[in-house]
A and B are shown apart, each in its own frame.
Chain A
């Protein structure tokens, strides 16, 4: 489990990344946020968000229902 789990199933781009941008501040530096997303663009845009915002992309792994979860560590 990440420190914050965001359920973005059913949301189309850019909504999962908007949700991530809005809520990253809810975890401490060094903690993680996971975005569960059914949107095809999230696989590219969560890592791109990390690069642009100076955060760490930890990786992707499936949730129990098979939906990808994109895990991000807050660095700043």
Chain B
């Protein structure tokens, strides 16, 4: 049972259908003037139109990038001019942290978060640019983007965790999304730049259809991403209600396991994910034990990270960083699926603690 959609959602059937239909048509260079090129250009424009419609933005605000990470890098760095000060929440995705670290001229300052992982806007200061995610990718807590934007500062929002699942928050200047997180293909990001916002391409230019992006357009993938987004938005009220109830069920049951930290806001959160940490439990051991029983989950514990550092998100929230798992549901997860997981989890945790002598 796949419980890691916050890392990557399985391809939506609508994306598959659109990509299969486009893969034999969308090969030509959409900048050329011949018939095959015009056909590819038409498909790309359709994809842009569909994404704009699904997100409620103008079509000329939509760019396709080579990944969600690329959209984050471009979006944020294009908004931060030379020597800019940038205030970012301490729980931003590593793509935001790496982008800021790459720009030595930028003065970047983390803004503290509360125990739920929500940014404390009294600590925002007076920066040139604000970077604030729509929702946290590890713990699900929604961020007060609209309130932060109400101060009139240019605001970049990394919306990768929520795009398609929730409407975009109001007030952003630039936003980023990632298709494989909503059921589109990997290798497609969405960069949104509000009409009239001062944004400059921070990377080398390219002479493509869209001056904000570089590289030859992957037309079939863009179309698949757009089709999946349309489908996910159309299904979202029903899926959201179902996933929310299942996550409430998980949160309630997991909280009964002794010495467990259930992390993130219980209500003001993404619909599909929950994170918890079990005292005295090795993160890698719990992921492996669950996997042996057929449950595939992610972990933010240091022993599961390539860096051997604990999750900076959990650390900023003062949450327990070891014994951590993140459970995120597929769109078709059922109560029976969740109950199977909830039957296995307490036993797995108990066994690992017993092995540790506790």
Which residues of A does B touch, CB under 8 Å?
Answer: 12-14, 17-18, 21-22, 39-41, 43-45, 47-49, 51-53
Contact = CB atoms under 8 A, between A and B. Distances in A.
Contacts of A49: 279, 320
**Chain B, interface residues (CB within 8 Å), range:** 20 to 34
Given A14-B282, A21-B280, A40-B310, A45 B259 contact: no
B279 A13 contact: no
A14 B281 CA distance: 6
Nearest to A20: B280
A41 B356 contact: no
Contacts of A21: 279-280, 358
B310 A41 contact: yes
A44 B321 contact: yes
25 contacts: A12-B302, A12-B308, A13-B302, A14-B281, A14-B322, A14-B323, A17-B279, A18-B280, A21-B358, A22-B358, A40-B302, A41-B301, A44-B310, A44-B314, A44-B318, A44-B319, A44-B320, A45-B320, A45-B321, A47-B318, A48-B320, A48-B321, A52-B259, A52-B279, A53-B259
A39 B282 CA distance: 13
Interface in B305-350: 308-310, 314-315, 318-323
B318 A45 contact: no
Contacts of A44: 310, 314-315, 318-321
B303 interface: yes
A26 to B, nearest CB: 15
Given A14-B280, A40-B309, A52 B261 contact: yes
A18 B303 contact: no
Nearest to A12: B303
B295 to A, nearest CB: 21
Contacts, number: 68
A39 B301 CA distance: 12
Given A44-B314, A52-B261, A17 B280 contact: yes
Interface centre among B261, B277, B279, B309 (most CB of A within 10 A): B279
B302 to A, nearest CB: 5
A41 B302 contact: yes
A9 to B, nearest CB: 16
Given A13-B310, A14-B280, A52 B358 contact: no
Q: Which of B259, B281, B301, B321 has the most CB of A within 10 A?
A: B321
A48 B319 contact: yes
B104 interface: no
A40 B307 CA distance: 11
A22 B356 CA distance: 10
Contacts of A52: 259, 261, 279, 320
A40 B357 CA distance: 23
Contacts of A47: 318
A49 B323 CA distance: 12
Contacts of B321: 13, 41, 44-45, 48
Contacts of B279: 14, 17, 21, 49, 52-53
Contact of B318 (A17, A40, A48): A48
B322 A41 contact: yes
Given A18-B280, A21-B280, A13 B358 contact: no
A14 B315 CA distance: 15
Contact of B322 (A13, A51, A53): A13
A44 B357 CA distance: 22
A2 B322 CA distance: 25
Contacts of A43: 315
Contacts of B314: 44
Interface in B240-280: 259, 261, 277, 279-280
B156 to A, nearest CB: 27
